[in-house]
Amino acid sequence: MATTTVSGGTTNAGSAVSSDPNVSNLTKTLLNNVNGSGGVFTTNSVGTPSSPALVQGADNSVFVVEGTSNVVQVGSQRSTYVIADQKATIAGGTGSGTIVGGAGGALLGTSTVPGGSYQLLGSTGNDTIIAAAGNNTIQGGAGTNVEGVFGGSNIVGVGQVSGANDTAVITGGNNTIFGGQVSSLIGVTGGTNTVVGGAAAETIVGGGGNNVFAGGGGQDLFLFTNLGVGGNYTVTDFGVGGTADTVAFVGLGATSVDKLLANATESGGSVKITFASSNVTVTFQNTTIASLRGNILLS
């Protein structure tokens, strides 16, 4: 493996690579004050999806992945920091640490084997970030990003960075998803999830799982559909704070708002709508049937 030792150990990895002409200024900035006491390394090992190059070192090691098509697998070290200097595919292992995309866009992910714990962070490129197992924190950067969650216990940040254009797809796991200052699309098709919207207008899609949705500020769209797996949803803040939220029911058999609401139940400040044939139940807290009436779309 073509790996070069830049430093045998330092508390500031940015300083260690500051004079390396092959490392981008963005990477140097992101590495400023990052602990590299386990060593700082650059690697240009290519690897392939079926046979990724292994980046293995001591705990608190830092790896800069150079090149534009590298595929690497992080080893079992703890508190590691791995950054794509340009464009790379980087997969976490069974250890822990931070994996960062660079300016060129990256595919960042976790192992499918439980045990890892990573921060997966986008940067200025267009990144795809995947969590398959483990306990992870995921956040896109300033580019156009796709964040996918298939398992594990994850905290997911969507639309957190100015200039971001994020889409999150959640199909499994136990997750908390936070919206931010930029409008984004959050789709949930499985797992147990809590979605907490931010100040921007989010589109939150429920296609399965057991979920709690809070839109936050902005004019949010809550869309519920049937993907054949049923779903149980609670919306905690529909229209709260004067926001003109909208709810859409798609493919659930409803053809008339009047008929839909005639079969809804209102009790204790909540409205429950059940689609028995699809095994889908949506409960709207802190609202009334009258408040919902003018804000429902059917398809």
Secondary structure (DSSP) of 140-208: --SSEEEEEE-SSEEEEE-S-STT-EEEEEE-SSEEEEE--SS--EEEE-SSEEEEE--SS--EEEE-S
Decide: helix, strand or coil at residue 120. strand
Instruction: Compute the chain's Rg from CA coordinates.
Output: 22
Neighbours of 289 (CB within 10 A): 15
Cα separation, 22 vs 55, whole angstroms:
19
Question: What pTM, to 2 d.p., does this model score?
Answer: 0.91
Give the closest residue to 288 by CA, choosing from 259, 263, 265, 257: 265
pLDDT for 1: 52
pLDDT in tens, the chain (299 residues): 588 999 999 999 999 999 999 999 999 999 999 999 999 999 988 888 889 999 999 999 999 999 888 899 999 999 999 999 988 999 999 999 999 998 888 899 998 888 899 999 999 889 999 999 889 999 999 889 999 999 999 999 999 988 888 999 999 999 999 999 899 999 999 999 999 999 899 999 999 999 999 998 889 999 999 887 889 999 999 987 666 899 999 999 999 999 999 999 999 999 999 999 899 999 999 999 999 999 999 99
DSSP assignment, residue 52?
P
pLDDT for 243: 66
Cα separation, 106 vs 165, whole angstroms:
15
pLDDT for 242: 62
